[in-house]
Amino acid sequence: MKRHPQVIDRILEVIRAHETFCIVGHIRPDGDCIGSQLGLALALKNEGKKVTVWNQDSIPLKYRFLVGDGLIEKPRRGEKFDCVIATDCACFERLGKVGDCIGDRKVLINIDHHQSNPRYGDVNWVSPREPSTGELIYRLMKVARWPITKPIADLLFTAISTDTGSFQYATTRPGTFHAGAELVTRGANLAKICDEVYQSYPVSRAKLLKHVYSKFRLSDNDQIAWFWLKQADFNRTGAASDDTEGLIDHIRAIEPVVVACVFEEVAPELTRISLRSKNAKVNVNEIAGQFGGGGHPAAAGARIAGKPLSTQRKVIAAIRRALKAAK
């Protein structure tokens, strides 16, 4: 039988020794974050633990079908927990306002798969080889021999599917398919998950996509592709920031493109960048790191203060340097 990391035993020791838990995730939660948070929360509840789930931001519309009984709440000051578990959160700052509300705790466990994670917990299970945090939670449950109920199967399958690009990204490993297969066997509703997550977009997102195709830019022999999303674009289309998830894949899929970038205006002089790479020699985690961000070698992001045009020039220049170095 395949050996599991010792840190799993340590995490299970901590869980068994405590009663009150808070499961927290990163700002702007995606499918992996939500699926991991809620999947772990349900598993702990099934073990008789008292569990709270906190996230600073609201759940995107396409993942609302997963969130029963209002389980994810806004953070509150003054709460006390035995154990706080952060899932899929690359750094403590990415918890946002949640980070200010979890100081009264005995232990912080950090479960994540981002290469840039600085291991900010008291106990850290950071495994960049895994394509999703959902797969880590699945492995934790298998070692613990906790039952994988149908609701948990739905949550973990959604987590794994969304962070692997529906099992398409190069990070997907044989074990990922085994995990997905077992979760479907345990009752994950494949048809409903795929319909809700991949085939049920609001009109506002379609209008944003129209904007992407009409405004994207190419440079450096079509190796770099990028587009801007300004507040005016959201106002005009009626879209929310949630609607941007996956838009970058449309320009990443252009055949000559090596690196794709989205510049999203968060405030007049604050830009959120998302980066994707199709070349193993071009590590966008390192590019994002130059601007205080991070993530994975093939997918990363950052928030950059400054004038938009200056930000664009700096980021495109950094991508250009990475492309040159890869040659």
Beta bridge partners of 101: none
What is the SS3 assignment for 10?
helix
Query: Residue 258's pLDDT band (boundaries 50, 70, 90)?
Result: very high
Residue 150 has pLDDT above 60, yes or no: yes
State whether the Cα torsion 253-257-31-178 is positive or negative: positive
pLDDT 10s digits, 113-145: 998 999 999 999 999 999 999 999 999 999 999
Tokens coding 138 = 């699945």
pLDDT 10s digits, 161-191: 999 999 998 889 999 999 999 999 999 999 9
Distance in angstroms (rounded) separating the CA atoms of residues 18 and 324: 52
What is the SS3 assignment for 8?
helix
| Radius of gyration (C-alpha) of the chain in whole angstroms | 20
Distance in angstroms (rounded) separating the CA atoms of residues 207 and 172: 31
pLDDT 10s digits, 197-231: 999 999 999 999 999 999 999 999 999 999 999 99
pLDDT 10s digits, 266-285: 999 999 999 999 999 999 99
Beta bridge partners of 107: 83
- pTM for this entry: 0.91
What value does the mean pLDDT take over residues 48-68?
91
The full set of domains in the chain, from first to last, is 6-198 (3.90.1640.10), 204-326 (3.10.310.30)
Three-point CA angle 151, 157, 162, nearest 5°: 130
Q: Are strands 259-267 and 270-277 parallel, antiparallel or unpaired?
A: antiparallel
Q: What is the pLDDT of residue 327?
A: 85
pLDDT 10s digits, 87-99: 999 999 999 999 9
Nearest to 241 by CA among 227, 229, 249, 225: 229
What is the SS3 assignment for 249?
helix
Distance in angstroms (rounded) separating the CA atoms of residues 236 and 17: 53
